[in-house]
Amino acid sequence: MIRKKIALFKHFILKSIGLKKLSQINEMNNKNVLEGKIYRNGCSLFEGTLIINSKRVQLCCQPLTDNKDFFFYYYDNKSDESFYSAIQQYKKNRDKLYEMWVKMEKNPCSNCSYMIEDSLPTNLNIRTIHFPTGFDDSSCNFRCIYCNAIPVLDKKIKTVGNLFETIVKLSKDFDFKGMIFSFSTGEFVARNDANKILDYLYEKGALISLTSNSSIYKKRLMDFIKENRVTGINTSLDAGTRETFAKVKGVDCFNKVVENILKYSNEGCLYDLKYIILEGINDNIEDINGFVEIVKKANTRNATISANQQVKNKRLSENTINMTTLLYKKLKETNANLLFSSNDFNREDMKEIREKININ
């Protein structure tokens, strides 16, 4: 019975690490230990990122249906004690989960598609604090046709919490110097207190990462860029022509957005540009060619092809699939690192696209 259990345990280990031989793992780890790494399961999103919205601290970025108590820690935003308690619970469960990964035990993340097997750090350091949309002072000057945060931005869903006050609270628990503050709170630079937050983080020595529509030029943000303190700006452009841009974004400012992207990128800012494929809207040659040219001019770091999650259950037309394939091939000819948000696509559509572009 004991031998059977040992055999089953070895089988589980080999299966969980891609059926590599234990001798190979030991050999890799002998080399890794010099670099402070170990071969194990892990998640690049979780290991260095603390996610905070107006009601909870999150251990994971995914909208999990199971194990919510393990991953989400709710707090009363009017109580500092409640907030700090949630932070401590986050740290406790994060360390517990890490220990299970190192031991290759079955854990709440075992079936997650974002898990990777690689040589990863032997300890956990929070390098990024991420703020998604959800604070009562979130705002955006666009109304993108695919945005699922519009009810929050239009105040149809009641939200609480003040972003600046939350950042000040965090300064008691973390040294901000060299830490990345990532914002996807609507349009961050459209906030009334954007300069106040940027000034505070600038003095604290923090770095900035933004999900932004790039429609507003912000001098204080340029100060961060010139000092190499912006790790990247992610803009979902979704068009290559003025007409389509206005249709998708609800605002006619395509030229201003492109102008700001080039201003920031010319000062050394790393841009990640995204193209969300929208059937019957931007699945055409003119928009694809226009987008690809902007990717080239902005010296884009990452170019991402994505799909509208709101219609994920519906198959794309043959034309849309062909245009997605064409976009992929044209972006491959640029210097940008090409990414595919495959989880945003219908599975059957993604399978057909992969076959057309010959990727696994």
pLDDT of residue 68: 79
CATH 3.20.20.70 domain extents, the chain:
237-360
Query: What gap in Å lies between CA 215 and CA 251, rounded to an integer?
Result: 10
Q: How many CB atoms lie within 10 A of CB 153?
A: 20
Query: What gap in Å lies between CA 108 and CA 104, rounded to an integer?
Result: 12
Quick one: what percent of the chain has pLDDT higher than 90?
Answer: 47
Q: Which CATH architecture has domain 237-360?
A: Alpha-Beta Barrel (3.20)
Q: What average pLDDT does the structure give for the chain?
A: 83
Query: What gap in Å lies between CA 175 and CA 280, rounded to an integer?
Result: 48
Structural tokens at position 218: 């912000």
Which amino acid does the sequence have at 275?
Y
Render pLDDT for 284-334 as a digit per residue (tens, 0 to 9).
999 999 999 999 999 899 999 999 877 877 899 999 999 999 999 999 999
Q: 3-state DSSP: the chain helix, strand, coil percent, rounded to 5?
A: 45, 20, 40
Q: In which band, very low, low, confident or very high, does the pLDDT at 139 lie, cut at 50, 70 and 90?
A: confident
Contact 41, 17 (CB under 8 A): yes
Render pLDDT for 165-196 as a digit per residue (tens, 0 to 9).
999 999 988 999 999 999 987 789 888 889 99
Q: Categorise residue 73: left if φ over 0, alpha if ψ from -120 to 50, beta otherwise.
A: beta
pLDDT of residue 38: 73
- pLDDT surpasses 80 at 5: no
DSSP string, 55-116: SEEES-SS--SS-HHHHEEE--TT-HHHHHHHHHHHHHHHHHHHHHHHTT---TTTT-TT-E
- Range picked from 3-17, 115-129, 196-210 for highest mean pLDDT: 196-210
pLDDT of residue 137: 63
DSSP string, 232-280: EEEEE---SSHHHHHHHHSS--HHHHHHHHHHHHHTT--EEEEEEE-TT
For the stretch 109-124, what's the b/e string if a residue is b when 16 or more beta carbons lie within 10 angstroms of its beta carbon?
Answer: beeeeebeeeebbeeb
Q: In which band, very low, low, confident or very high, does the pLDDT at 27 lie, cut at 50, 70 and 90?
A: low
Which amino acid does the sequence have at 216?
I
Q: Categorise residue 355: left if φ over 0, alpha if ψ from -120 to 50, beta otherwise.
A: alpha
pLDDT of residue 2: 42
- pLDDT surpasses 60 at 22: no
Q: What is the mean pLDDT of residues 208-233?
A: 94
Query: What gap in Å lies between CA 156 and CA 133, rounded to an integer?
Result: 14
